[in-house]
Amino acid sequence: MRRIRIHLAYDGTDFHGWQVQPGLPTIQGALESVGGEIEGAPVHVAGSGRTDAGVHALAQVAAFTLENPIPLPNLRKAMNRLLPPSIRVLSTTEAAPDFHPRFQALAKTYEYRIVRAEVCPPCEWRYVHHHPYPLSLDRMTACQPILEGEHDFTAFAASDSRDDDEGKTKVRTIFRSHLEAQPDRVIYRVRGSGFLKHMVRNIVGSLLEAGRGNLDESGLRALLVPNCPTKAGPTAPAKGLFLVGVEY
């Protein structure tokens, strides 16, 4: 048996997220279908994380086990030939038999893209949040470093039945939180030990609330109090979010 690690990129617009869902197109479902066709038997594909419906990836990591002796370059070509053009396998490598892309990840980086121009370029519309309204970048910039460090992100997490039923902690460590202002756009990049469901989108929603004058630094700190009953947000649209890196 061979453990195969792949790096892939995808446009999440037409998919209902990463995780397999009956009767719905998902990234994991597409990969498992293609892997099964190559293997001639069911193949389970594990990912580094479950991106939401509409979220994109520039550098997702996944792994699966094969008996097929197909050479790695040919495996990449075969997968890309069978996959829709919105999903591309960038590389294939042999991995240790026990490699798991989720449990062994040390850090992940996400990027959120906001266009502030009055008119959003049509070729970018699927990949940005268009927000042509006044924002105080000074207030947003003042809030961003508050998120760094180890915190309880309960207020920033959407309900997740699997994790909630198991009573998993919502404490995560943010290594870097950085807002970059460009002409007519804002790029927010966050690197952390891991992320909860909708966590990055709720962080962005909270920073936008700061930019609108509806949330200040003390209000953001209050959202990081353990088991905070107030919810952060509102949740920013999925289409502006990209998974840009996973570290091992």
Pairing mode, strands 129-130 and 87-95: unpaired
pLDDT 10s digits, 143-166:
999 999 999 999 999 977 566 556
Confidence at residue 159, expressed as pLDDT on a 0 to 100 scale: 79
Identify the pLDDT of residue 166: 61
- 160 included as an active-site residue: no
DSSP 8-state class, residue 25? -
Q: Which residue, among 214, 213, 200, has the nearest Cα to 147 in the 3D structure? A: 200
- Active-site annotation holder among 11, 52, 160, 184: 52
Can you give the pLDDT at residue 229? 87
> What's the confidence (pLDDT) of residue 115?
98
> Residue 136: how many CB atoms within 10 A of its CB?
12
pLDDT of residue 161: 56
In the numeric block, which tokens belong to residue 10? 């995808």
pLDDT at position 182 is: 87
pTM of the model as a whole: 0.94
Distance CA 204, CA 210 (A): 10
Q: What is the pLDDT of residue 46?
A: 98
SS3 for 238?
helix
Under-70 pLDDT residues of the chain? 161-167
In this predicted structure, what is the pLDDT of residue 73?
97
Average pLDDT of the chain is 95
User: What's the pLDDT at 130?
Assistant: 98
| Domains of the chain in sequence order | 2-95 (3.30.70.580), 107-247 (3.30.70.660)
> Residues near 65 by Cβ (< 8 Å), separated by ≥ 6?
1, 2, 3, 4, 43, 44
